[in-house]
Amino acid sequence: MGVLAAGLPGETRSVDLGADRVPGHTRTFRKGALLWVRNQPSGSVFLVKRGEVEILVPGHKSRDTVIQVVKPGEICGLASFNRKRISPTTGRALVQTEVLEIAIEDFLALLARSPRMARSVIVSACERLAFAEERIHILAQRGAEDRIVALLLQLARRRGHPSLAQPDFVRLAVTHAELARLAGMNRAHVSVVLNRLRVKDLIRYGRGNPPQVNMPALLKHAEPQSGQIPA
């Protein structure tokens, strides 16, 4: 295995291992199983080989809020890199997921042997910090519409696909349920907000079709409500 990826959704950054052999063992987690638990000791990092892992923090009324979804080829569990080996997050398999579990001591040894890899991990950590700051901006929005608008803009920038038929629109491969998890809201409330945005022609969607975001209109709509939206 020559490369570990540890980036953001839609912006995966490769971590070059060179010729180093990665120690660890493969584990399979069923849907809903926990890889690690918030405020509990965790001595490993995880390379996702197959499936998806959602990173959770406690939300309103004990409802978990998703701050990131880790895709195949990406690393998670880096939050355990602290003196007490205590993670501030929980990792949960979104679907049946296969990972390579690597002990933190072994991973640190790899970093010590390979300056190139250490540099790549630092760059990846900085990218994740920037992403976390965006997520804080989104979750800090008190109004439901403000929060969904900020989330749609973030998703459009990071993993949207320009519409060939409608130049101002960007397609998002995301469901109402996924938006609800990312926004820390219930699905019914998200659907109400999306319908309100559709009436204003800020987004377009239909049954069985992914939502499309009117980027110029949504950016203009966001400015007076939420101030500057992070780029």
Q: Domain of 54: which CATH number?
A: 2.60.120.10
The range of the structural domain enclosing residue 145 comes to 141-226
Among the three residues 87, 105, 131, which one is the final residue of a domain in this structure? 131
Mean pLDDT, residues 118-131:
79
In angstroms, the Cα distances linking 176 to 38, 66, 100, 104, 183 are 26, 14, 31, 36, 10
| Residue 92 sits in the same domain as residue 196 | no
The answer to whether position 112 is within a domain reads yes
Average pLDDT, stretch 7-24? 49
pLDDT tens readout for residues 68-120: 888 888 888 887 776 667 788 899 999 999 999 989 888 888 888 888 878 87
pTM listed for this prediction: 0.64
Tokens representing 203 are 């987004």
**Is residue 10 located within the same domain as residue 122?**
yes
Task: Specify whether 205 is located in the same domain as 110.
Answer: no
List C-alpha distances in Å: 128 to 12, 23, 69, 75, 195.
10, 24, 12, 11, 31
**Total domain count, the chain:** 2
State the pLDDT at residue 227.
45
**Structural domain contains residue 136:** no
In this structure, are 172 and 195 located in the same domain? yes
Q: In a 10 Å sphere around its CB, with 0-12 CB exposed, 13-18 middle and 19+ buried, how is residue 80 labelled? A: buried
Does the pLDDT of residue 159 top 90, yes or no?
no
Region 179-207 average pLDDT: 88
Cα 126-130-131 angle, rounded to 5 deg = 115
Residues 96 and 181 in one domain: no
129 Cβ neighbours under 8 A, 6+ residues apart? none
Does 37 share its domain with 127?
A: yes
Domain of 150, CATH number, reads 1.10.10.10
Domain-ending residue, one of 131, 156, 179: 131
